[in-house]
C-alpha cells in the first residue's frame, strides 16, 4: 500500500507540474486578422519630395581628389536641380491628425504627403523633429477626425512576446508582418540615444517610422532600422515607446526637445589612467574639463 501511495503521489505532483506549465504558457495567436483590421486605419504612408542641387562639370573628365584644379574649375560648372522622392511610414496618435514617424523619413523634405488606409491624402507640416533620437511629429493639414492608437509600456515587453508591424515597405502600404521580440537594449551606433527593441517581424525599406504593436494593439516601438542592405533578414530594430513618448511630448509642446546638460567633459578611465590615479582597477569616469560658467 505504501509503494502504491508513493507512486500516486509522484504521479499527482508530475501531473500538477505539467498542467501548471501549460496553463501559464501563452499559445500563439490563431490569427492576427482582427487586430490588424482594427489598427490599419491608424497607420499612414508617408511620401516626401526634396530638391537636390548638384554642380555639373563642363569637362568630360574629372580632376583627382585634392587636385588644385578641382576648386579652380568648379565654378565653371552649371548648377543643376533634381527632385528626389522618399517613402516611409507613420501612425496617428491624436484624433486631430498628429502623426509620429522617424526624423530621417522627413528630414529636408519640401513637401510631405500622408496617405491614410482608405486612400485619402493630406499634406502635413512638421511640428517638431529630433535628429538625435530620430523622431519627428507631424500635423495633418485638415480638420477631419482620425482614429488614433495609444502607446503601451515598452518596459513590460519581454523577449519572446508576439508583435506585429504595419507599414509601407517599398511603397506597399498597409503591409502587416508578425514576429517576436528577439532582444532588448540594442545599440547600433545610428543615433546618439539608442536602446532598441530587436524583432524578427519583417521590416524593410519604407517601414521606417511605422508602429510595432503588442497583442493588445498598443504601440511599444517605432520601427527605425534593419540589418541587411538587400532587405529584411529577420533583424529589425524599433525605438521603445517609453523613451519615444518623452521626446514626442516635448516636440508637441515646445517644437523641440529639452534635455539636461552636465557642464563637464568626461572620458572612460583606461588602465593607464587608473595607474596614474592610483586606482585598484579601471572604473568610473574621469572629468577631463569643466565648461566655463557651468
Say how far apart CA 149 and CA 151 lie, in whole Å. 7
Q: Which of 130, 134, 200, 214 is catalytic?
A: 134
Say how far apart CA 59 and CA 201 lie, in whole Å. 49
Q: 88: closest CA among 78, 108, 103, 67? A: 103
Q: Which of 47, 178, 191, 208 is catalytic?
A: 208
**84 included as an active-site residue:** no
**208 included as an active-site residue:** yes
Provide the 3-class DSSP secondary structure of residue 43.
Answer: strand
3-class DSSP string for 190-213: CCCCCCEEEECCCCCCCCCCCEEE
Q: Which of 104, 178, 232, 243 is catalytic?
A: 104
**214 included as an active-site residue:** no
Tell me whether residue 252 is exposed, middle or buried, using C-beta atoms within 10 angstroms of its C-beta: 0 to 12, 13 to 18, 19 or more: middle
Active site residues: 104, 134, 208
Amino acid at each position: 500500500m505504501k509503494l502504491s501511495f508513493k507512486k500516486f503521489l509522484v504521479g499527482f505532483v508530475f501531473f500538477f507540474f505539467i498542467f501548471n506549465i501549460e496553463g501559464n504558457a501563452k499559445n500563439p495567436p490563431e490569427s492576427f486578422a482582427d487586430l490588424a483590421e482594427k489598427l490599419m486605419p491608424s497607420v499612414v504612408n508617408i511620401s516626401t519630395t526634396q530638391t537636390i542641387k548638384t554642380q555639373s562639370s563642363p569637362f568630360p573628365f574629372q580632376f583627382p581628389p585634392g587636385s588644385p584644379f578641382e576648386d579652380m574649375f568648379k565654378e565653371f560648372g552649371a548648377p543643376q536641380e533634381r527632385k528626389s522622392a522618399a517613402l516611409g511610414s507613420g501612425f496617428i496618435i491624436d484624433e486631430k491628425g498628429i502623426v509620429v514617424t522617424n526624423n530621417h523619413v522627413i528630414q529636408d523634405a519640401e513637401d510631405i504627403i500622408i496617405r491614410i488606409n482608405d486612400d485619402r491624402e493630406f499634406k502635413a507640416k512638421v511640428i517638431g523633429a529630433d535628429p538625435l533620437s530620430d523622431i519627428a511629429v507631424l500635423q495633418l493639414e485638415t480638420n477631419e477626425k482620425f482614429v488614433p492608437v495609444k502607446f503601451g509600456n515598452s518596459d513590460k515587453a519581454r523577449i519572446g512576446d508576439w508583435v506585429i508591424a504595419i507599414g509601407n515597405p517599398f511603397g506597399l502600404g498597409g503591409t502587416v508582418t508578425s514576429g517576436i521580440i528577439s532582444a532588448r537594449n540594442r545599440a547600433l551606433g545610428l543615433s546618439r540615444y539608442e536602446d532598441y527593441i530587436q524583432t524578427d517581424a519583417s521590416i524593410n525599406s519604407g517601414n521606417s517610422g511605422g508602429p510595432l504593436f503588442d497583442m493588445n494593439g498598443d504601440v511599444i516601438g517605432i520601427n527605425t532600422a534593419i540589418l541587411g542592405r538587400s532587405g529584411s533578414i529577420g533583424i529589425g530594430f524599433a525605438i521603445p515607446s517609453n523613451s519615444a513618448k518623452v521626446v514626442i511630448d516635448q516636440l508637441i509642446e515646445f517644437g523641440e526637445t529639452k534635455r539636461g546638460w552636465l557642464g563637464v567633459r568626461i572620458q572612460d578611465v583606461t588602465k593607464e589612467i587608473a595607474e596614474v590615479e592610483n586606482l585598484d582597477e579601471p572604473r568610473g569616469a574621469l572629468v577631463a574639463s569643466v565648461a566655463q560658467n557651468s
